[in-house]
Amino acid sequence: MAAPGRSVDDPVTNPPAPGGAQAPGSSDVPPQDSDLAVTNPEEDDSALPEPVEDEAEWGSESRLGVGRAVIEQAVKLAPTSPGVYRMLNESGDVLYVGKAKNVKKRLSSYARPTGHVVRIARMIAMTVNVEIVSTETETEALLLEANLIKQLRPRFNVLLRDDKSFPYILITGDHWAPQLVKHRGAQTRPGRYFGPFASVGAVNRTLTALQRAFLIRSCTDSFFEGRTRPCLLFQIKRCAGPCTGEIDFPAYTQLVREATDFLSGRSRAVKEQLAAEMEKASAELEFERAALYRDRLAALSAVQAQQGINPRTVEEADVFAIHQEGGYSCVEVFFFRTGQNWGNRAYFPRADKSLTAEEVLGSFLSQFYDGKPPPKLVLLSHKIEEGELLASALSVKAGFKVEVSTPQRGEKKELVNHALTNAREALGRKLADTATQTRLLDSLVSALQLPQPPRRIEIYDNSHIQGTNAVGAMVVAGPEGFMKNQYRKFNIRSENLTPGDDYGMMREVLQRRFKRLLSAEAGAQAKDDDVPQWPDLVIIDGGLGQLNAVRQIFDELGVTGVSLMSVAKGPDRDAGRETLFLPDRPAIKLEPRDPVLYFIQRLRDEAHRFVIGSHRKLRKKDIREAGLQEIPGIGPARKRALLHHFGTLKEIERASLADLGKVPGVSAESARRIHDFFHPARS
């Protein structure tokens, strides 16, 4: 996409820093306009407090002079053509990625002695190296910039941590009886894809209604092939039962065609056809068939009711609206496809309070479509400075013309106003939730006598059944609530543990966790400025024994400055009667209705939920593979291939010799061995 360019390293004032780094980013706006971080609403969906740094770190005139000298040297070798530039610190970490129509002119703006906002001054002071990549056009520069920001995670760019793909609905095309399923990821399976939907919840609600309306199967192919009688979904009228011939091929194909038409935007024609069939059945006194059509019509109405606004003149568009209040911003995104509303989602970017709504929205958009397919129309609540450039870049990426517009009247304006109302309400709720969380953390400080409100709380728990499938888990919470993108699970590896040794499992988990932290600190690895890597408070599910074991581990590793607490269940495991243990202090029992106790219970219960879920997944995997362990000559690769092909151990057991031979990687001899294992010859 971008033409190879040259790297401009500083040969004068400072030695060149090692290349590459880690850290997420922004768009091509003047550097002072791109100091915000976008967070994922499903993981860490709230504005974060501004980090405070010591002015001595960056503000001295000598440091600024050194940074300007580095940039001035880079300006001498910089091209006057479009390109992307990277600023690096002395550790080789990328501080900022930017693009420009004229790289030389843009870098010159950094070298001026005055006129920089605080953040840009700090970035200049930390810069010891500048790298440049030339591109053929400014559009290519914009696309390359977004890609580099996602890879390198620069400290001073927009930080868009929402790297999940959006969910779709798929009607499969590789089976005679197509399947209606939720899909996320690469669209490699044959079939028709409909989306994107804003959230998994929106997809699930739509899928449930579509199954009631069109009776298309949702089961896997292996489950379908193994049926000898209809499943429960057929009994509750959510599937037509093609697996056992309850519906013939032409009739099922008609159902699939109707579902495709509905999802393609021809919903009115589908509903009119169903209504006509209902009237016909009623006239012929076939009231049971008429009731079936009535229920299908009701299901379609439910789909459209859940979608809320369904535009009349807008077939395909994404709508973005931004609202600012109290120094925070909320960007609400609505998806419209085939004339239907397919959900919305709120994002809460962290931005400098001096940035306008237009600047925040422009930076947000340049990151949003990295890895996501754009629609034909993008509607905005505020006109951004580089709207034409963004439209050009999205058109190149999509392969068709994309229009970026700020409507002033008509139905499009109504859609934007509706999104703006949702943005205002979402930000109000978030501000209220953040204030509540802050009060809880302040109360936690008083109750536990902590030195300061914790920015990162780590909660640990273990799960096993008599020592088998042992797993540990770490849950993380902070000022904005649970940070699910920071959760970690630990499969217990030690073979010397006594089955059920909770102390030993906790020792292994904490040693692995804090040895990694100490190693990262020693290596001065880059870390995310928004999420501290070191916890302020560690909570253990257990009593005084667990607390003492953790203290011993910390003493052995040399970990200091981390507060510890264990939470012991009350008599008869009653919630509200827990005992809190802290080092070198008497045990604490809070009042059953104390908000702080309820907060601690929520933290512990979330850790328990996460570790139990991880343990069940591990146990389920072992159970699925257990029946294959005893077959001689069948290794892990063939076991995975068999389970992937048939789905369950029962289906493998029922498979014929010919079916086993069709599995990729399974030879005729292996197929015979597997078949003989489940079907021994009778003498």
Whether 402 and 328 map to the same domain: the answer is yes
Whether 606 and 471 map to the same domain: the answer is yes
Decide: 517 and 553 in contact? Cβ < 8 Å. Answer: no
Residue 267 has, within 13 A of its CA and on its CB side, a CA count of: 23
Does residue 513 lie within any of the structural domains? Answer: yes
What is the distance between the alpha carbons of residues 508 and 656, in angstroms, rounded to a whole number? 46
> 253, 287, 307: which is the final residue of a domain?
307
* Residue 322 pLDDT exceeds 90: yes
Whether 462 and 588 map to the same domain: the answer is yes
Whether 141 and 47 map to the same domain: the answer is yes
For position 612, what pLDDT does the model report?
84
In the three-class reduction of DSSP (H, G, I as helix; E, B as strand; rest coil), residue 476 is classed as strand
DSSP 301-344: HHHHHHH----SS-SSEEEEEEEEETTEEEEEEEEEETTEEEEE
For position 449, what pLDDT does the model report?
85
> 579, 597, 622: which is the final residue of a domain?
622
For position 161, what pLDDT does the model report?
56
For residue 544, what is the domain's CATH number?
3.30.420.340
Does residue 50 lie within any of the structural domains? Answer: yes
What rounded mean pLDDT belongs to the chain?
A: 77
Number of structural domains found in the chain: 5
pLDDT digits (tens, 9 = 90+) for 623-647: 555 556 657 677 777 777 777 777 6
Whether 40 and 64 map to the same domain: the answer is yes
Whether 131 and 229 map to the same domain: the answer is no
Whether 511 and 497 map to the same domain: the answer is yes
For residue 370, what is the domain's CATH number?
3.30.420
Interior angle at CA 266, CA 396 and CA 249, nearest 5 = 105
Whether 468 and 574 map to the same domain: the answer is yes
Decide: 349 and 36 in contact? Cβ < 8 Å. Answer: yes
For position 380, what pLDDT does the model report?
93
Whether 462 and 405 map to the same domain: the answer is no
* Residue 163 pLDDT exceeds 50: yes
For residue 637, what is the domain's CATH number?
1.10.150.20
pLDDT digits (tens, 9 = 90+) for 191-243: 888 877 877 777 887 788 788 878 889 888 888 888 888 888 888 888 888 99
End-to-end Cα separation, the chain, in angstroms? 69
Does residue 6 lie within any of the structural domains? Answer: no
- Domain extent at residue 642: 627-678
Give, in order, the Cα–Cα distances in Å from 279 to each of 161, 168, 299. 52, 34, 17
pLDDT band at 304 (very low <50, low <70, confident <90, very high): low
Residue whose token pair is 């052995």 = 556
Does residue 435 lie within any of the structural domains? Answer: no
What is the distance between the alpha carbons of residues 102 and 97, in angstroms, rounded to a whole number? 15
SS (H, E, C) 59-74: CCHHHHHHHHHHHHHH
* Residue 95 pLDDT exceeds 80: yes
**Helix locations, 523-635, DSSP H:** 544-557, 595-626
Tell me if the pTM is above 0.85: no
Whether 295 and 400 map to the same domain: the answer is no
Does residue 8 lie within any of the structural domains? Answer: no
For residue 128, what is the domain's CATH number?
3.40.1440.10
Does residue 607 lie within any of the structural domains? Answer: yes
Phi, psi of 673 (to 5 degrees): -65, -40
Does residue 526 lie within any of the structural domains? Answer: yes
Whether 229 and 273 map to the same domain: the answer is yes
Whether 531 and 487 map to the same domain: the answer is yes
> 152, 176, 206: which is the final residue of a domain?
152
Does residue 160 lie within any of the structural domains? Answer: no
Interior angle at CA 271, CA 269 and CA 275, nearest 5 = 115
Decide: 397 and 374 in contact? Cβ < 8 Å. Answer: yes
Lowest-confidence pick of 42-51, 317-326, 549-558? 42-51
